Amino acid sequence: MQWTQLWHAQSFPLWVEGNDATPRMHRVMIGGDRAGAVVVARNDQGAFALVRQRRLAIERDLWEFPRGMSEESDADGIATGLRELLEETGFHGENGISLGQIYPDSGILGGHIEVIACTVPEQKRCEIDGEVDALQWVSLAELRSMIVSGELQDSISLAAFTLWKTRDEA
């Protein structure tokens, strides 16, 4: 299937592509070939790092795992994830591993997200970039409760947790 660019933002790497299929299909490309990363980070007590962030598209504040887009200086998805963890939480992650890739909305978005797991040793918190409103560490039981109650609704975080849990139980 061949895609044709229909629209491109002038000041941001965002464009819409279409094809000649019937019915006509569209996809949104953000950042070109740049991938994203989401980080399932746990501290020495086994608690998970969650950040609270305002998501303008849905006009809601969501609890989610730290995540973001890759930068040219990132060597791979693990580097992206560890950088995002530091920027959003102020903590350095260690022992980063890739759990796999997810496609957040394969019906319209063309990019993928690398799911990274890491540990966060107890240490002094560094300065954060101000992207997030809050940080909390939650136990596995608390995280499960947040999922069941609908307090954690971010699809990327839910998929990342599923990958982590599946690997953890294997």
Phi, psi of 129 (to 5 degrees): -90, 0
Alpha-carbon span 70 to 54, nearest angstrom: 20
Query: Domains along the chain?
Result: 1-32 (no CATH), 33-169 (3.90.79.10)
- Contact assessment for residue 81 and residue 38, using Cβ atoms and an 8 Å cutoff: yes
Structure confidence at residue 39 (pLDDT): 98
pLDDT in tens, 9-58: 666 666 666 666 655 565 566 655 568 999 999 999 999 999 999 888 78
Reduced to 3 states (helix: H, G, I; strand: E, B; else coil), residue 43 is strand
What is the pTM (predicted TM-score) of this model? 0.81
